[in-house]
Each structure stands twice: as structure tokens, then as C-alpha cells.
Structure 1
Amino acid sequence: MELEKLCSKVESFREEMVKTLCDLIKIKAIGPDNGGEGELDRAEYIHGIFENWGFKVERYDSKDDRAKGGVRPNLVVRLCEKEDMERIWIVTHMDVVPEGDPDLWDTPPFEPVIKDGKVYGRGSEDNTQPLVSSMFAVKALKDLCIEPKRNLCLAFVSDEETGSRYGIQHLINLGIFRKGDYFIVPDAGTPQGDCIEVAEKSILWIRFIVRGKQAHASMTHQAINASREAMRFLLELDSTLHSRFNRKNELFLPPESTFEPTKRESNVENINTIPGRDISYFDCRILPEYGIDSVLEVVENVVENFNSRSEAKVSYEVVQREESPPTSVESKVVTLLKDAIKLVSGVDAKPVGFGGNTCASFFRKAGFDAAVWSTVDGKAHQPNEYAVVEYMIKDAKVFSVLPTL
């Protein structure tokens, strides 16, 4: 009976949910590390909605002078104020990545467009769709005055896209969460909603600096071309890492470790100058079978070997590293989530691994059980990113059912 009431109530929010999604897309919540002002405007918008609904909102700012207002805000909302209740958390992030090349978009990235049951815009899927789902799940429970078996708590965090130092790590360090809490992080998924992520690959970001000698492009005898040497080095490193760490684990998709050259910083502004410095980055997602230190040992060997053969010199630094234990497939959060998904959509969800890095990894490192689940088409960080309205509605139903099971 409660299931039918909750599903019906969530359905009644359809237009309001789409409007909220569109309003949030318009707020450009890009973090300072990616050239933006941060999440303050989004946080204030969300704060205002919950206050209008009659919820108490707790705000935990992390100081960051680069951001608007000098802070990176984090919000917490609880269905009940009973301190002795078991607590299940849904954690979403407010920040989004930059739009990338605007010419690759069919519509302006921060002007939402509704078409064929989808809402297009940067951040629509990652992470605004599940963020809105969580908001209206707790509203449905409150409006129906349902007495839950456990408290449903929501956290809306900053800085997920650039390391979570000002977001979920800040909340964990403050002691907001307590022993026995468990967490759902709806930051990855499938179109069928049939995969519950219980393990993440380790993440390693590395910055490589290749130093050569700058000269006029016509005076090659006076130069050491850092760009050319960087390309040689990066290809050599790429080949070595893939050959040395080649195991497969079918829990994950893709099933192998990935080592991808990604960002390259601008070296010279004009065409007719040979660059004397080149800066490049690798994004590595490493299976749990391997340790990050073993990868770094190989990187060090490749750097030393290359430097012994090249007139250019390579150095490197670790930009980010994260590794965390898996969550048991028998844990309460996985069991409850599987039951809720089955009740709402009839789907038998299975445990999987994930190559990305989410807030769940920080919870697992802190000793908490966390599961990653949502229903998405996997358009995060892509041009023409979109959210699917039906997915947003369905996931809100699943979230609303969780405290009643």
C-alpha cells in the first residue's frame, strides 16, 4: 500500500521535477579548479526549496577563497530528527564539469532543452538528475506523513569532480556521519538500472613535465623539441603500462585497468616556435589486483630509462590518488537497494565494479558501506549530455521506498 502511495505521489511531482532540473542546469556550478566560481548559487537554490517544503537544512561550508563567497557549500537534509534511528544516506554532488568545446553541442550547454523525454544540458545526468530524484523522494515521504523504518538523509556536496577535498571529505572529517550509517551514491549506472556498483578501480592522475630547449622553428639545430619528445615518452609509457598491467576482472566494465593520456597544457602561443616545455597528464584507473605503488614504480622506471636516452628531461608528480576497499555484496545497503529496485521496476540488479571514482570510495575508506546506483544512459562529460525524465521519476520512487523496507 505504501509503495503505491509513494509511486503515485512521485508521479504527481513530474512537472515540478522537470522544472527543478532545468533551473539547476541554468546555474553554472563549475569548481575553481576547472575555471568556475563554485557551487554557492546552486546550494542556495536547493536550500531555498527545502526551506519552502518545511525541512531543516544544515550547511557545512569549506573555505576556498577562489570560489564565489569564499566557500564551497555542502548541505544536509534529514527526513526525521530522531537521533536514535538507523540512517540511510543518498549523496549527490552539486558541481559539474565544464562544457568542453561548445561547437560540439547542438544546443547551448547551460540553457536546458526538453526534447523527446530528455533534458539536455551540462550536468543534466551528472549529477543533477539523481540529485532531483533524491529531493522529491524525501518530499514524497514527508507529504504522505509516512513513518519510516529508518531515517532517509540527503547530502548535497561540492567538489566531487576535482577530488572532493571541499565536499564529501570535508563532511567525513567533521564527523557528520556515524557508525552504522550506510550510503547510496547515485553517480553511475545503466539504462536498465540493473547494476549496483560495489567496488571501484583505484584512481591515479599524473602530471608529466618534459623540458627541452626553445628556439625558432627554422633553427632546429638550436632546439630540443619538448613537444616531440613528450609524444615519444607518452607513447612509450602508454605501451608499457598496458603490457605490464594487463589482467582482466569481469566484475568491471571495461574489465582491464585503463591508462589514458588526457589533458595537455598549452606550450607556445605561436606556430613558428619550437616549445621548450610540454606538460601532459595521464588518467589511470587501476584494478584492485594491482596497487598504485606498483604502477608508480613502473612509471619511475620508464622515466629514468627515457631520460637516459633523450636530450629532453622528464619529471612527474602525482595529482590525485585514491584507492578504497569494496563493499560486501551481502551488506545491508546492497540488499535494501536490490529489494527497492525489484519492487519498483521488477529488475533484478546485480553487483558490479566501476572504473570511475565517486564519493563512495571515500565512505569505503572511512569504514562505511556504500553502493553506487542510478538509471542513466551514460552521457556524463559528453557534448549534448542529457537526463531522461522517466529515469529521474523511477529513481525517485526507488529512493522513496528505501526507508519503508
Structure 2
Amino acid sequence: MRLYSSAMTRLALLCLFAVFAAQTVSLSPAVAASLLAAQEKPDKNAVALQRLLDDIGKQRAEVISIQRELTARPALAPESGGEGEEAKARWIEEWLRQKGFPLVERLDYLDAKVPSGQRPNLVLRLPGQSGRTLWLVCHLHVATPGPLDRWQGSPWTLRVEGDTVYGRGVMDNHQSIAAALLLFENLKRQQITPPMGLGLVLHAQTNGFRHVLAKRPDIFAPDDLLIVPDFGNPKGTSIALAEKGLLWLNICIKGEQKHSGSPQGGHNTLRIGARFIRDMDELAKSLSAAVPMFQAPYVTFEPTMVLPTAGSSNAVPAEFTFSVDCRFTPIYSPADIMKEFRTLADKLEREEGVSINLTETLSYYSPPPTRQDSPVVLAVLRSLAAEGVKDVSFVGINTVSSATPIREKGLAVAEWGKMDDTRRQIANESTTVSASIEEARVFARILFDQEAAKAAPANAGEEKTP
């Protein structure tokens, strides 16, 4: 009976396929023509992407113009003697308004140390065909220029030599801000709606970005793609998926002031501080576990600054305070680092007869890394492959970045850009016009990545800014 039924089933399927075949053969000429036209008709998204890529490649003059305006507006933190990022943020708002983006959301936070009384954070989103958004997160602030006599010209006046531009902030982070602005402007001018929405966050320092996430905890949907273009190499072959944790310490050594001509019986805190700095290398032996994916796979301790204290040239100082920057991998915590520093401080207190206070001024844990097979990483890899970039590697970086608070929220984020990290925060900082254009092309391809754009369309047309 089973054989009979199986045979009957096969016969029924054959008859069904025969009916379909007969129907296909008997298609009317009009239907056949429409099917043929549909096959020959180019994909609208593919055509739009090619238009976008072609236009981006013609925007070299616009990149230089944006770089010039951003560089001319120093965005130094008040701790560095600056007035903050307000002037730069206002220029960007006006530029966007002129390009057809009148609604830019501001999520500022109060700061009495700057003239404007606030530190600006800008948010902009252009809807796409799906509910998924590609977010680019860039910072507005720049590093201090350092000694001005080491610059060729003013750090705040853009210098252009062929494809290379020089000035404070041109690479860190103007290069990627220019790439993002180019992409927004081209999409608007050509009236292109990509498969994914495009979002941009421009923030004032990491604290500013944390403020944005606190005020708008839902700003990033779970299936959005997030890229922080604040790391990379000139070829674009490196993606950062993790950051080290950070601990800043002030170490204050208190002894007894004596005349430098008769130092006997005193406690020269400057000498003891030098010993503390020398002995910090021993701490690494207790925190020796390596994580190979990081550029520096071990915990690092670097003295960075001496804090001012009262004293004179003929007096043994009664107090000496210096700062230490500690960077640690995800297998350690700030408490682990503090424990080792306290052990060293206790030892020197016993041997030198002084008191040593440790004050934590800032700390961040190292959050879990982003998976290599996460949608944003795969989208970046596909886009790079389409641009001819191969042999991409994954690394962890030694600094806290804008990606850190994103990873802390459990969201996947890729840090990627076409930049030379050896040019970061040095005199005569430089980058190329081509780098901005090439970054914009990579971001454009991700916007049109059909695989990456797959998301629930419920909020596809919803604006995330007022």
C-alpha cells in the first residue's frame, strides 16, 4: 500500500509540474515581454549607489573646504585652556541647514568652564527604506597643538599640499566628519533613499557621548549598525573590536620639608616619587597575562604629569604629586590595578617613612569585544572587499574611545577608518583628501548592502530627530 501511495504521489507531482510547464509555454506575448523587461531592468539601488559613488569622487574641493572651516575653529576642552566645541558645532549646523537639513537635534550638557556654558552634541538621521540605520559616531574636540614653534604655520590654519592637508584635528576627527557630511549632502541633493537610514552623532569628548546615551538611551536600535571612524591604518585593513580599560591615578607622597643644604632626617618626596615611578615596572609581573589581539597585549603604566606644589629651590619638598595613566585588558579591572598600586605604596611607606595617598580621578572597565561575525563587522568587510581592500585584521586598541560606551551597552560596534595613527596628536598633524573620499565610499556601500539592510520595516520612515 505504501509503494502504491508513493507511486501515486510521484505521479501526481509529475502531473502538477506538467501543468506548470504547459502554463509557462502558453504565456501571452505581453506577459513574456514584461518578464523579459524585468530581467533586463537594472536594479534601482545599484544605479543609485553608482551615482552616489561617482559624485562622492568629485567632491575633493568640498572636502578641503570642510577641513578648512573645521580647523579654523579650535575645539579645545577647558581643561586644555580652550573654550569648548560650540563654534565648530554651530558651523556644522549652519552647513547642514544650507544643504537642506534644518533639523539637527542638540543634546548638550552643562559645563560652567566654557564661555557658552554648555558642551554641544549633535544628532542627525536620514531615514532609509528599512528600519535599520547605519550610525557614524565622531568627536568634535581636538588635541592641544603643543609647542607652536614645531608647526609649519598656525595649527588652526589649513595648509594644503597636493592631496595632503595639515592642521590640528585634520585626521582626528575632521577626516571622518567630512566623509559623513559628504554622504549626507549627496544623498539629499540626489534625492536618494538608501536601503538603510544614515545617522550621525557628533559629540564633545567621551563624557559628551555618555551624556547623549543617558538622555537618549533608545537612540540606537538593537539591529542598527554602528561605526566609530576613529581608528585604522592608511590602507583601511584594520578593524578594532575592543578597547583597553582606563585608570587615572594621582599619587601624592607626603614627607617632611628640610633645607636642601641639611637634608638629613628629612624625607625627600621627590626622590621617593622617582623610586615609585621606577618600581612601577615591577607591577607588571603581577599583571602579566597577555591578550594578543591588543596592540600592546599587556597592562601598561605611564607617569604623565607632575602636579604643582609649594616649594623652593633650596628646600627638600614636603609633598610630591604625580599622575599615572594605566591601560588594562578585559581580564583585569580597576580594582585589580588599584590593589597592586596600594601594595607598592605600602612598601614605600614602611621603608621611607612617608604617607602615600592614591586618588582615582577616572576609570573605565574594558567591555567585552564585538564579535567578528556581527552584522556591522560583516558589512564593513563586504564594503571593503567591493573597494578592493583585502587581508583585513581585527585588533584591540590601547585607548578608550567613543566605541567603549557603546560596547558597555552590549551593542556591536566597529572602529574603522583610513588613517595613519602615527600622525595623531603630533605637530603638523596631517591626512589626505583621498582618505575622506574613500571613507565616504565605504560608508555609502554599507548603506546599500542588501544583506545588512534586512530589518523590521515598522519604523522605516520614522525620523529620530525632531
Same fold (TM over 0.5): yes
2:302 equivalent to 1:256: no
Contact 2:248 2:361 survives alignment (8 Å): yes
**Partner residue of 1:73?**
120
Residue number in structure 1 paired with 2:31: none
In 2: Cα distance, 1:291 partner to 1:185 partner:
24
Structure 2 distance, partners of 1:112, 1:195, is 28
Using the alignment, how far apart are the partners of 2:108 and 2:331 within structure 1?
37
Residue 391 of structure 1, aligned match among 420, 430, 435: 435
In structure 2, how many angstroms separate the alpha carbons of the residues matched to 1:362 and 1:294? 21
**Structure-1 residue corresponding to 2:350:** 308
Which of 338, 352, 358 is residue 401 of structure 2 equivalent to?
A: 358
The one of 210, 213, 218 aligned to 2:256 = 213
SS in 1 for 2:57: helix
TM-score for both structures, normalised by structure 2 = 0.81
Q: Does 1:89 align with 2:135?
A: yes
Q: In structure 1, give the amino acid aligned to 2:252.
A: I
Counterpart Cα distance in 2 of 1:392 and 1:178: 25
Report the CA distance between 1:361 and its aligned residue.
0.8
State which of 170, 173, 178 in structure 1 corresponds to 2:214.
173
CA shift, 1:330, in A, is 0.9
Residue equivalent to 1:203: 246
> Alpha-carbon deviation of 1:391?
1.1
Does the aligned pair in 2 maintain the 1:40–1:68 contact within 8 Å? no
Runs of 4+ in 1 over 4 A off after TM superposition: none
Calculate percent identity across the aligned residue pairs: 28
CA contact (8 A) 1:39 1:72 kept: yes
Deviations 1:250-284 (A, max 9, x none): 21112222221112223457544433222211111
Q: What's the CA shift string for 1:32-91, capped at 9, x where partnerless?
A: 222211110010011111011111211111011111210001001112288x72112100
Question: What is the distance in 2 between the residues matched to 1:117 and 1:223?
Answer: 60
Distance 1:171 1:340 in 2: 29
Query: Aligned partners of 1:128 and 1:291: how far apart in 2?
Result: 33
Q: Which residue of 1 aligns with 2:173?
A: 127
* Equivalence map 1:32-181=2 (5 Å): 32-55=78-101, 56-80=103-127, 85-159=131-205, 164-165=206-207, 167-175=208-216, 176-180=218-222, 181=224
Shift of 1:356: 1.2
Residue identity opposite 1:169 in structure 2: R
Moved more, 318-327 or 217-226: 217-226
SS of alignment partner, residue 68 of structure 1: coil
List per-residue Cα deviations over 1:300-359 (Å, max 9, x = no partner): 111111111113321111121112111111111111111112212433423221111111
Residues 111 and 118 of structure 2 are in contact (CA less than 8 Å); yes or no, is this contact kept in structure 1? yes
1:328/1:99 Cα in 2 relative to 1: closer, same or farther (>3 Å)? same
Paired residue type of 1:389: V
The alpha-carbon distance between structure 1 residues 316 and 60, as it changes in their structure 2 partners (threshold 3 A), is same
CA contact (8 A) 2:241 2:415 kept: yes
| One-letter identity of the residue aligned with 1:362 | P
Distance 1:297 1:222 in 2: 30
CA-CA distance at 1:208 after TM superposition: 0.9
The SS at the match of 1:221 is coil
Matches within 5 A, 1:313-352: 313-323=355-365, 324-352=367-395
Structure 1 residue ranges without an equivalent (≥5): none
Question: Gaps (5+ residues) in structure 2?
Answer: 1-46, 450-466
SS of the residue 1:4 aligns to = helix
Whether the 8 Å CA contact 1:182–1:368 is kept in 2: the answer is: no
